[in-house]
Homo-oligomer: A and B are copies of this chain.
Amino acid sequence: MTEAKILLEERGIRPTQQRMAVLRYLRDNRNHPTVDTIYSSLHDRMPSLSRTTLYNTLRLLSSAGLALSLTIEGDEIRFDGDTSDHGHCKCRRCGGVFDFPLPETLPLDLPDGFLGESVHIYAWGTCRRCASLS
C-alpha cells in the first residue's frame, strides 16, 4: 500500500491511478513545478493522462490540503506537495523557487479586527548558484 494511496483514502478520495501518480510526483519532487512540468514528467509513464484530469486533480489535492498552489507571479501557478508552513523565494535569474523556514511566531500587525488565518511569504532575489556565476 503506497503512501499516496493512504493519504487519499484517509480523506475519502478514490485513489485512482492518475491521482496517485500526481500526488506521488508532488511528494517526490520538491521543485515547485508548474502544471506543464508535471504534465511532461508524468506523460512518459502515463501517456493517456489528459491536461483536464491534471487540472482537476491539482484542484482536488489543493482543496483537500494535500498540496499548495503558489501564485508567486501572475503568469504561472506552481504547486507544492509540502503543505507545512514555510516561505518561498524565487531567483530572478534562473527562475528557481526555493523553500525557507519561517519563525515560530511572525509578528504581523494586521488591521484592527482582521482575523488572520494563513500567511504566504514570497521573497525575490538571486540564488546562490546564480550569484556565484555572476
Residues of A within 8 A of B (CB): 69, 71-74, 77, 87, 89, 91-92, 98-103, 107-128, 131-132
Contact = CB atoms under 8 A, between A and B. Distances in A.
7 contacts: A74-B77, A103-B109, A115-B125, A117-B124, A117-B125, A117-B126, A118-B124
A134 to B, nearest CB: 10
A105 to B, nearest CB: 11
Instruction: Please give the count of copies of this chain that the complex contains.
Output: 2
A98 B111 contact: yes
B89 A116 contact: yes
Contact of A122 (B73, B77, B115, B119): B119
A133 B98 CA distance: 40
A123 B118 contact: yes
Contact of A113 (B71, B101, B122, B131): B131
A128 B111 contact: yes
A108 B125 contact: no
Given A72-B71, A89-B116, A110 B125 contact: yes
